[in-house]
Structure 1
Amino acid sequence: MFAEAAASGRLVAAQLAANAGVIAQAAKRLRMHPPTAALICGRGSSDNAGVFARYLIETEVGVMTSPMPLAVSSVYGRAPHVPDGLCLAVSQSGKSPDLVAAAAGARAGGAFVIALVNVEDSPLSQVADLTIPLRAGPELSVAATKSFIASLSAIAHLIAEWSGDADLSAGLESLPQQLDAAWAQDWSAALPALTDVTSLYVVGRGVGFGVAREAALKLKETCGLHAEAFSTAEVRHGPMALVKTGFPVLLLPQSDATYDDAQDLAADFARRGARVFFAGATTAPGVVSLPTVGAHPALEPILLIQSFYRLAATLSTARGFDPDRPPYLNKVTETV
Structure 2
Amino acid sequence: MAQMTKMAAEATETPQVFRRQQQQNKAQIIALADAIKRHDPEFVYMIGRGTSDHAGVFGKYLIETQMGLPVAAAAPSVNSVYGKTLRLRKALVFIISQSGRSPDILAQARMAKEQGALCVALVNDETSPLKDVADFFVPLCAGPEVAVAATKSYLASLYALLDIVAACTQNTSLTAALASLPLQMEEVLASQPVLLADTLSTMERCVVLGRAFGYAISREIALKLKEVCGIQAEAFSSAEFLHGPISLLNRGVAILDVHIDDASAQYHHAQIEEVKSRGATVCPMLQTDKTTHPLVAPLLIMQRFYVDIELAARTLNMDPDSPVGLKKVTETM
Aligned to 1:287: none
Residue 233 of structure 2 corresponds to residue 227 of structure 1: yes
User: More displaced, 318-327 or 14-23?
Assistant: 318-327
SS at match of 1:83: coil
Does the 8 Å CA contact 2:197/2:313 hold for their aligned counterparts? Answer: no
Which residue of the other structure, out of 321, 324, 328, is the alignment partner of 1:327? Answer: 324
Residue 19 of structure 2 corresponds to residue 13 of structure 1: yes
Amino acid across the alignment from 1:305: M
Q: Where does the alignment leave 5 or more consecutive residues of structure 1 unmatched?
A: 280-289
Does the 8 Å CA contact 2:239/2:271 hold for their aligned counterparts? Answer: no
* CA shift for structure 1 position 187: 3.3
Count residues with an aligned counterpart. 326
Structure 2: distance between partners of 1:190 and 1:273: 21
CA deviation digits over 1:123-162, x for unaligned, max 9? 2222111100000000121100011111110110011101
Amino acid across the alignment from 2:51: S
Amino acid across the alignment from 1:329: L
Does the 8 Å CA contact 2:259/2:287 hold for their aligned counterparts? Answer: no
Aligned to 2:3: none
Which residue of the other structure, out of 289, 313, 316, is the alignment partner of 1:316? Answer: 313
Amino acid across the alignment from 1:318: T
Aligned to 1:199: 205
CA deviation digits over 1:280-318, x for unaligned, max 9? xxxxxxxxxx44355211111111111111111022223
Aligned to 1:186: 192
Structure 1: distance between partners of 2:76 and 2:20: 32
Residue 68 of structure 2 corresponds to residue 72 of structure 1: no
Aligned runs of 1:206-245 on 2, under 5 Å? 206-244=212-250
* CA shift for structure 1 position 74: 0.7
Aligned to 1:102: 108
Q: CA RMSD in A?
A: 1.5
CA deviation digits over 1:92-148, x for unaligned, max 9? 000000001111111122211100000112022221111000000001211000111
Amino acid across the alignment from 1:137: G
Structure 1: distance between partners of 2:265 and 2:188: 19
Aligned to 1:306: 303
Residue 94 of structure 2 corresponds to residue 88 of structure 1: yes
Task: Calculate the TM-score normalised by the size of structure 2.
Answer: 0.94
Does the 8 Å CA contact 1:203/1:249 hold for their aligned counterparts? Answer: yes
CA deviation digits over 1:203-258, x for unaligned, max 9? 11212322110000000000001000001111111111011485311111211111
Does the 8 Å CA contact 1:187/1:311 hold for their aligned counterparts? Answer: yes
Structure 2: distance between partners of 1:36 and 1:19: 25
Residue 298 of structure 2 corresponds to residue 292 of structure 1: no
User: More displaced, 96-105 or 311-320?
Assistant: 311-320
Structure 2: distance between partners of 1:271 and 1:208: 21
Greater than 4 Å deviation, 4+ residue runs: none
Structure 1: distance between partners of 2:287 and 2:276: 19
Does the 8 Å CA contact 1:182/1:292 hold for their aligned counterparts? Answer: no
User: More displaced, 246-255 or 21-30?
Assistant: 246-255
Amino acid across the alignment from 1:292: T
Aligned to 2:179: 173
Q: Where does the alignment leave 5 or more consecutive residues of structure 2 unmatched?
A: 1-6
* CA shift for structure 1 position 30: 0.7
* CA shift for structure 1 position 194: 1.5
Task: Calculate the TM-score normalised by the size of structure 1.
Answer: 0.93
Structure 1: distance between partners of 2:43 and 2:134: 17
Does the 8 Å CA contact 2:287/2:301 hold for their aligned counterparts? Answer: no
Structure 1: distance between partners of 2:289 and 2:192: 11
* CA shift for structure 1 position 333: 0.3
Aligned to 2:284: 278
User: More displaced, 196-205 or 212-221?
Assistant: 196-205
Amino acid across the alignment from 2:321: D
Does the 8 Å CA contact 1:317/1:323 hold for their aligned counterparts? Answer: yes
Structure 2: distance between partners of 1:110 and 1:320: 51
Which residue of the other structure, out of 25, 33, 36, is the alignment partner of 1:30? Answer: 36
Which residue of the other structure, out of 251, 260, 273, is the alignment partner of 1:267? Answer: 273
Identify if the C-alpha distance between structure 1 residues 32 and 258 changes in structure 2 by more than 3 Å, giving closer, same or farther. Answer: same
